[in-house]
Structure 1
């Protein structure tokens, strides 16, 4: 795809409303008919390249299909420390992605891993800035972790505030044809109940394999309980220690069979699963996990 065609496609994707499609995880940055059913991405902040153009270059070098770009840190700011509010910076990211043939598969609000989505007073500005950036860049999915301070298992009293805010932001996302993918500490049944309470196609589950694996849940059952329509994107990852191909508690070809049977399609994004013996070797760790997922989901395992 030529650069100008890529940029035109991404802009159109951001404006298009795809909520009537069979799967909310359908690819949005390139022609869906030309894209494989499953694509493999990487998180820029976990590759130590948060909001750096080098994340796109590294993703291309290791053969990833896309990058999840973070909105930046929060700390005690009113909103994210993001350079993507600058049109020139956004153009640089889109141009680099086009030149490298790497999609920007999603934007991440990773700051909420440590900050309270339910309690911070300027959350409407934070999420509004993310949605505006998504529209400007033609990115359809945002990742929103509720994190430690928003753990609804440990702090159920936060649920009314979480639901109220996600209803409001979900309506904004739905109007723009966007999806906010939420990661919670709930099991699949609890997360499905939460999503049904929110009741907006603009809010879906950003499923993380690690949540099921680390809590001793049946990964396949959790996926089936949520179902294809509730899952917008997946972090195909586990805690650090070994690469995915050496992880004895997850049978990745079997996971693919489950997702196939569910009729799900979309992005599998690597977050962790680094080799403990060489944890800071970003290229080696992410390259190995990307290559393995592509063999399983795009070829022959």
Structure 2
């Protein structure tokens, strides 16, 4: 899908700035190799549903971030037979499993419910089975950590216990929340493990009142494991986030993460999901590929 003249001018301006900062003529090729573009299965309307692979292939996505499951199916990706089905679907469609997420933590809080400790531990095993590097831990709704020092303290203690297992497996547990960069860094310092990082969502940070461009500098390239590219119920280029500036900021801090960015909730109500996500995919390719 073609980009508008305005979008192309933005991309061209960013390219010129990035090229000027590049130490070599291989800058653009190197930057392109850094990022793969996927989408969250729940944003495609296929949460914890194997049909997400065929839909992602139709859109042209390179991968999908898959939800571990929910209470109704006992977080079914923990089952070997379900994992085999997902691996077969990935192979058949050519769509990679880019990362995992435990969305049910929003309803059954990691900060308080004892069941969730086993879920997070098991998610590391699932990540190893899929050969992925990142598991998103969601901290919203009932699991929100804002103005909850007791909840943060409990999360730190739980992460301390599970982090060594994640380290041995080469898996990163990514915290996605409304907390500030400084608050995220506090949790990471207290846990004291390289397996705990931030899963950065630009829209969530902006909605929380945080300066996303300053936060990228504060967190730096080593403390962010993966990215959500989101404009709630809007196409990416129709919202308020300055994505060309985001691209510049990521380039300036030398960000790499696990090389994946995921499109999330970037479709107007009533729009066709394939058309909307093909538009978003083309827009991000114009900026990052």
User: Which TM bucket (shorter chain)?
Assistant: 0.7 to 0.9
Deviation at 1:39, TM superposition (A): 1.1
Q: Distance in 2 between matches of 1:156 and 1:149?
A: 15
TM alignment of 1:287-298, pairs within 5 A: 287-298=278-289
Determine whether 1:116 maps to 2:113: no
Give unmatched runs, 5+ long, in structure 2: 1-29
- Greater helix content: 2
SS at match of 1:294: helix
Match of 1:268 in 2: 261
> Which one of 51, 54, 58 corresponds to residue 55 of structure 2?
58
When the two structures are superposed, what TM-score results if normalisation uses the length of structure 2? Answer: 0.83
SS at match of 1:149: helix
Match of 1:131 in 2: 124
How many residues align? The count is 258
1:244-273 Cα distance to aligned partner (Å, 9 max, x none): 1112x2121211111111111221111112
Q: Distance in 1 between matches of 2:143 and 2:78?
A: 26
> Which one of 134, 137, 140 corresponds to residue 144 of structure 1?
137
Deviation at 1:121, TM superposition (A): 1.4
**Is this contact kept in 2: 1:213–1:238, CA < 8 A?**
no
Match of 2:223 in 1: 230
Deviation at 1:292, TM superposition (A): 1.3
Deviation at 1:201, TM superposition (A): 0.8
Q: Structure 1 residues 127-136 or 61-70, which shifts more?
A: 127-136
**Is this contact kept in 1: 2:70–2:76, CA < 8 A?**
no
Deviation at 1:153, TM superposition (A): 1.7
Q: Distance in 2 between matches of 1:142 and 1:176?
A: 12
Q: Distance in 2 between matches of 1:99 and 1:138?
A: 17
Q: Distance in 1 between matches of 2:245 and 2:198?
A: 21
Determine whether 1:245 maps to 2:242: no
Q: Distance in 1 between matches of 2:236 and 2:246?
A: 12
Q: Structure 1 residues 228-237 or 128-137, which shifts more?
A: 128-137
**Is this contact kept in 1: 2:41–2:65, CA < 8 A?**
yes
Moved over 4 A (4+): none
Match of 1:214 in 2: 207
**Is this contact kept in 2: 1:115–1:147, CA < 8 A?**
no
Deviation at 1:227, TM superposition (A): 1.0
Deviation at 1:171, TM superposition (A): 1.5
**Is this contact kept in 1: 2:136–2:174, CA < 8 A?**
yes
TM alignment of 1:29-40, pairs within 5 A: 36-40=33-37
Q: Distance in 1 between matches of 2:232 and 2:215?
A: 18
Change in Cα spacing, 1:51 to 1:232, as seen in structure 2 (3 Å) is: same
RMSD (Å) for aligned C-alpha atoms: 2.0
Q: Distance in 2 between matches of 1:229 and 1:272?
A: 26
Deviation at 1:95, TM superposition (A): 2.3
Determine whether 1:85 maps to 2:82: no
When the two structures are superposed, what TM-score results if normalisation uses the length of structure 1? Answer: 0.80
Q: Distance in 1 between matches of 2:179 and 2:137?
A: 14
Deviation at 1:284, TM superposition (A): 2.3
Deviation at 1:122, TM superposition (A): 1.5
Q: Distance in 2 between matches of 1:250 and 1:48?
A: 24
